[in-house]
Amino acid sequence: MQRCQEVNATAGWTLCNEFAFCTLRGVTRRQRLEVAAGWLGIAAAVGMLLVLVMGATVTDPGSAQGCGRSWPLCRGQFIPEFAVSTFIEFSHRAVTGVEGVLIVLLAASALALYGRERTIRVLTPLMVGSLVLQAGMGAAAVMWPQQPVVLALHFGISLVALATATLTALYVGWPRTMRALPPVPRRLRVATWGFLVYLYVLVYTGAYVRHAGAGAACLSWPVCGTSGSGSEWAALAANFVHRGAAGVAVLLALGLVVAYRRLEPGRHDLFGGGLVLVGALLAQAAAGAFLVLTHLGLFGELLHAALSGVAFTSASYLCLRVALGEWQRVGARRASPEPSTPPIPV
C-alpha cells in the first residue's frame, strides 16, 4: 500500500492513485472522511449483493417461514432455537440489519461530502428508500402471505437497492472519474434509459416465473417442448416470454455497445461499461440454462439471482454516466454568464 504524497486540489483527494487506499497520516479531516466513505461504499455495495442472494436463499428452500409468523423477532425470541430453515431466515434478517446500518452511514457521509451535487441528492434518497421498502415488503411477506406478483416486485426493489448502493459507492470512491464527462446525443440517452426499464421488466418476469412455481413446467432449454396439459399452458407461456425477452435484451445491449463505440475516444467509459453489460447478460443466460438443466437446483437459483443483480447494476451505471454528461453540460451553461450585448449606437 503506497503512502499519500501529493494533494490533488481539483478532486479534493490526497492520492497516489485513483482511490485513496493510502495511509491517513498528515491529511485533513475531510480527506479522512473521503477515505472512510470510499471503504464504506465498497462494504455497503458488497453487503447489498449478499442481501439479494440471501433473499433468494430464503425464498427457494422455503425458509421464509423459518421464523414462523413473527417479525422482527424469530419465533418470538431474539436468538431462536436453530433449525436449518430458522437459521437461514434469521441470518438473512441479521445481515439485512447490518446492511441497513452501512447504508445509513454511507448516505450520511455522501451527503456530508457531496451533498450539493445533484447526483448524490438523487442517489441517497433512492438508496435509503429502496432498502426501507425492501425490508417492509420482506416483513409483510412473512406476516401475511403474498401473491407471486408482489413477491416478484420485492426482488425488483432489491435490484434498485443494489444498483443505487453501488453507484453511490462509485461516486464517493472515485469522484474524479465522475466529472468533466462529454454529453452524449439525446437519442442515445433515451435508448440507455429505455434499456434499463426493459431490463427491469425482464428481471421481474423471471422473478414471477420463480415465485409462481412456473419453472417446473419447462425443464428443458432453450425450448420447453410441446407436451403440457391445459393447466400448464400459462406456465409455459411465462417461460417462453421470459426466455424470448432475455434473448432480445442481449441484442439490444449489443446495439448499445455499437452506438457507444462511435463515441470513442471521448466516452470509452460507456464502451467499456457496455461490454461489461453484455458479458453479464450472457453469463446470466448461461446461469438460466444451468438452472433449468439442473432441475431448479438451489445453486443455480442463487447464481442466476446474483448475475441478475450484476446485469441490472451495469445498466444502471451506464444510465448514470449518460446522465452525468448532460447534467454537467446544463450546469456549466447556467454557471457561465450571458454574453453582454454592446449598446447599439444611435
SS (H, E, C) 143-170: HCCCCHHHHHHHHHHHHHHHHHHHHHHH
CB 215 within 8 A of CB 296: yes
pLDDT of residue 264: 76
Catalytic residue numbers?
89
Strands (E), the chain: 6-8, 13-15
Burial of 180 (0-12, 13-18, 19+ CB in 10 A): exposed
Residues whose CB falls within 8 Å of the CB of residue 282, separated by 6 or more in sequence, listed in order: 250
pLDDT value of position 234: 75
Distance CA 276, CA 239 (A): 26
* pLDDT at 21 (0 to 100): 46
pLDDT at 63: 52
pLDDT, one tens digit per residue, over 37-80 is: 889 999 999 999 988 888 776 655 455 555 656 666 666 666 55
Q: Which residues of the chain have pLDDT under 70?
A: 1-26, 57-86, 88-89, 141-146, 216, 225-231, 327-346
Average pLDDT score over the chain: 79
Main-chain phi, psi angles of 26, to 5 degrees = 75, 25
Cα(234)–Cα(214) distance, rounded to whole angstroms? Answer: 8
Domain spans of the chain? 1-178, 180-330
Name the grid cell of 175.
469522484
Cell readout for 309 is 443483480
Is the whole model's pTM more than 0.85, yes or no? no
Judge contact between 99 and 131, C-beta under 8 A: yes
- Residue 267's pLDDT is 85
